[in-house]
Amino acid sequence: MVRAQRTLEKPATIEGVGLHTGQKAQVTIKPAAANTGIIFIRVDVSGAEPARAEIEQQLDIEKYPRRTSLASGQYPIHTVEHLLSALYALGIDNAWIEVLGEECPGMDGSSLPFVQAIQQAGVRELPEAREVLKVREPIYISENGSHVVALPGECLKVSYTLDYHHPFLRSQYASFPIDPETYTAEVAPARTFCLEEEVDRLRALGLGKGSDYNNTLVIGTAGVINNSFRFEDEPVRHKISDLVGDLALLGAPLAAHIIGIRSGHALNTRLIRKLRELQKRERSVGVGAPSLLSFDSHTLNIDEITGIIPHRYPFLLVDRIVELKSDRAVGIKNVTMNEWFFQGHFPNRPVMPGVLIVEAMAQVGGVLMLSKTENRGKLAYFLSIDRVKFRRAVTPGDQLRLEVEVVKMRSKTGQVQGKAYVGDRLTAEALLMFTLMEA
């Protein structure tokens, strides 16, 4: 189950007031290239840094309760879960999100305004495959009567049981597959809520400064105060929306059945950290190793690449492997003006040397061959280069996509076909042959 990566067709801007800070807030979601991921950045302060929407950059949930927050350098970005939930459910893998203020706008308290803004901007597929994580064995997290479980599944499905022991808000259960159509109709409109008895305590904590009866369902003993439910079980549907937003911090689509029982952001975070730990373990022990997770399309970061091939800066010409199968690999090289070879190669009109494009393809081919269990620890040396063609120049700002496929593979030699693209345009191609030798 592999799908194409996605981004927006054009930017989308949403303005409003933060639910907790009460301050004016604005987010602009911009299209981004394949393999960028979801990146937030504060644009209202100097010195802010990009905040990748991954669990490692989440702020302490105990220090910042009742919301999911990220760190943009030393600056926080609060209440990202509704936006992340919409992006995840609509399959947006790559976006650059500029935030004006320290919190995302609360809008009507649901993720629906974000869904509508994304849909209006349009969704565009990119020419790269998306890594999908599949849970293979049950994972169970429990604390103080709350539980969250990940079970094997072919797609993401989220079920949730809510039970507040409240005279009006009793046990509720809902379960939905998380696909764009179902999510938009059944989950996205569900608004955030709190009990009337919680209001003063939340205010004392400095929370809910931007909340009112329109954007937050306040539930008293007789029902919803100055408002009404969009669904009879709107609170449990909002819990599902929040859980989807937290799952986005895994940084990859998940194929699993997630079951929450009275869980909140804190417990959700523990599940994501467990999944993240298994994700890293799967990558570190190599392709095909046993794990509670599996990958439909393996990816490798720079540390994992240097654990397979011997190349190092400045001659390491692959930034990331975005697809790794038994007979095919795809690598990425981001070409910047800071490359060492631009100092002497046409310095007044910088062009990446063609031989280095071929070398970059060869390094991806080396990863493809040396990642195999039987070849780990060996070295791959060139035997021949044939049928080399250069189609167009590569200049600073280009992103090279390096595709390599096996032509022949024997115990001591291997032949691969390499092609380099910038966008969807073929830049170079070559037939490469290697010999494998002990290090």
Distance CA 264, CA 164 (A): 13
Strand ranges in 10-156 using DSSP code E only, listed in sequence order: 12-17, 24-31, 38-42, 51-52, 70-72, 75-77, 95-100, 123-130, 133-135, 139-143, 146-152
Residues 279 and 380 in one domain: no
Distance CA 181, CA 177 (A): 10
Residue 283 pLDDT exceeds 70: no
Last residue of a domain, one of 238, 253, 283: 283
Selected catalytic residue, list 147, 166, 311, 345? 345
pLDDT of residue 293: 58
Q: Give 187's DSSP letter.
A: I
pLDDT of residue 287: 40
Range of the domain at 227: 3-283
Query: Does residue 35 form part of some domain?
Result: yes
Residues 263 and 321 in one domain: no
Rounded to an integer, the average pLDDT of 257-271 is 93
Distance CA 295, CA 130 (A): 10
pLDDT of residue 121: 97
Query: Does residue 258 form part of some domain?
Result: yes
Residue 148, SS3? strand
Residue 342, SS3? helix
Residue 284: which pLDDT band, with cuts at 50, 70 and 90?
A: very low
pLDDT of residue 187: 98
Residue 138: cis peptide before it, omega within 30 degrees of 0: no
180-228: per-residue pLDDT in tens?
999 999 999 999 998 888 888 888 877 888 889 988 999 988 889 999 9
- Both tokens of 95, joined, read 């976006």
pLDDT of residue 65: 84
CATH number, domain containing residue 322? 3.10.129.10
pLDDT of residue 285: 44
- Both tokens of 260, joined, read 């929450």
* Residue 371 C-alpha from the chain's centroid: 24
Element (H, E) at 254: strand 254-261
Last residue of a domain, one of 249, 283, 317: 283
287-321: per-residue pLDDT in tens?
434 456 554 456 788 878 888 888 888 889 999 88
pTM, full prediction: 0.67
Residues 316 and 386 in one domain: yes
CA distances from 313 to 137, 301, 316, 399 (A): 39, 15, 5, 18
Percent of the chain with pLDDT strictly greater than 90: 54
Distance CA 135, CA 155 (A): 10
Residues 204 and 338 in one domain: no
Residues 108 and 145 in one domain: yes
CA distances from 91 to 16, 228, 245, 251 (A): 24, 31, 12, 12
pLDDT of residue 374: 73
CATH number, domain containing residue 50? 3.30.1700.10
pLDDT of residue 289: 40
Contact 179, 72 (CB under 8 A): no
Selected catalytic residue, list 20, 257, 265, 298? 265
Which position has the token pair 């993401």? 156
Residue 128, SS3? strand
* Of 348, 380, 343, 379, the residue nearest 362 (C-alpha): 380
358-417: per-residue pLDDT in tens?
999 999 998 888 877 777 778 888 788 999 999 999 999 899 999 999 888 777 888 899
Residues 351 and 208 in one domain: no
Rounded to an integer, the average pLDDT of 131-139 is 86
Distance CA 165, CA 170 (A): 6
> Catalytic: 265?
yes
Torsion, CA 105, CA 107, CA 112, CA 117, rounded to 10: -60
Residue 281 pLDDT exceeds 70: no
Which position has the token pair 């991921």? 37
Contact 295, 132 (CB under 8 A): yes
Please give the tally of structural domains in the chain.
Answer: 2
